[in-house]
Amino acid sequence: MGAAGAARRPFIVLGVGGGIAAYKACEVLRRLTETGHDVRVVPTAAALRFVGAATFEALSGQPVHAGVFADVPQVPHVRLGRAADLVLVAPATADLLARAAHGLAADLLTGTLLTTRAPVLMAPAMHTEMWEHPATRDNVALLRARGVVVAEPASGRLTGVDSGPGRLPEPAEIVELARLLLARPDALARDLCGRRVLVSAGGTREPIDPVRFIGNRSSGRQGYALARVAAQRGAAVTLVAANTGALDAPAGVELVEVGTAAQLRDAVLAAAKDADAVVMAAAVADFRPSTPAEYKIKKTAGVPAPVGLVANPDVLSELVAARRGGQVIVGFAAETGDDLADVLSHGRAKMARKGCDLLVVNAVGNGLAFEVDDNSGWLLSAGGAERPLHHGPKALLAASVWDAVAGLLPTEADRRASK
């Protein structure tokens, strides 16, 4: 296909606020350009005191200006706002959130925010006291009411010795949210506010001896995407993660790390008591060694040591048996076709056995589902409805799952009537 017939690359305006986290915008920019986006960086004057214009220009291949008096004949604040497919602000300082909330337009970035009709994603970064101040909370609420996606910040090390909520989410997470909004501008609607949700992720490991274990290929990426999207849709999220040390914890999420199926079961059953919805995305081992060896098993004349196996508890079935009224439970089925049935048929059979409200069925193997960034499958419901989950980023699949969960959760009026 010639250049004239090539698909247009998405155009993102990357706003950069004047905080120490501005240096992370360089990594956000690099990830966006490397994944096929055209990016124009629009920093504030304060941001340029942390990162120079030359750095942003070199990484983006675009000129960088902070004021409205550069390139005046092109009226850049109007042109950029109209051309953008997404305006992403990272970091969004308390000052920048305040100016955006109140419609001030003293520089190129705030002018662009006023003229654009594209989705807007703002990733806050500031000290905890500033993030929790009533003025900031009011500004965030006002922006969200207007349709701006103000991401939940991470919690962790800030400047100096301070630590707490207000840390900029990791660049990979910001880019994941940006790509999600480009694919589906409504994917981060705040429809889970006031809800508590539990997500499990990763793959359990059952020890054979101090060195070896029985495990699986689940990386935890789908479960992390589910937790990340739920948090940004307003839920209080507990993420029970099995052996996902290579992944950064999603911003705004309580992380509980486990190793074995028994540990995951205990953590999940405890957290599920207060959860409005439970999504079991973890790959839980079906079996474990009956008696793990205390010492490393030695190789003896090439003869394999026997490993006796016993069944692990069926955590999903336990959750279904113990669920409260109104609680929504979602299972996952990683399947391969065989001589007896295809992937979807195996998923339907699992749905009938487990009795959960929703079941996500994934075809696995040959580069599908495990250890990759994208996913696809089917979403089955207890009422018999089925719909495909088309191939795309795991955050996009996560958004579809939460759409279905939100539609099943009782409304506030339903909850009051049940009391």
d(CA 377, CA 364): 10
Mutual angle of helices 394-408 and 221-232, in 10-degree steps: 50
Sign, Cα dihedral of 330, 331, 336, 340: negative
Distance of CA 12 to the CA centre of its chain: 20
Active-site entry in 139, 216, 312, 375: 216
The region, left, alpha or beta by phi > 0 then psi within -120 to 50, assigned to residue 355 is left
Is it true that the peptide bond before 289 is cis, omega within 30 degrees of 0? no
**Partners of residue 279 on adjacent β-strands:** 199, 330
DSSP-derived letter for residue 73 is G
Per the structure block, which two tokens stand in for 54? 């030359």
Mutual angle of helices 53-60 and 24-34, in 10-degree steps: 10
d(CA 253, CA 113): 28
Neighbours of 57 (CB within 10 A): 13
The yes-or-no answer on residue 216 being catalytic is yes
For residue 49, give the 3-state DSSP assignment. Answer: helix
The catalytic residue positions are 216
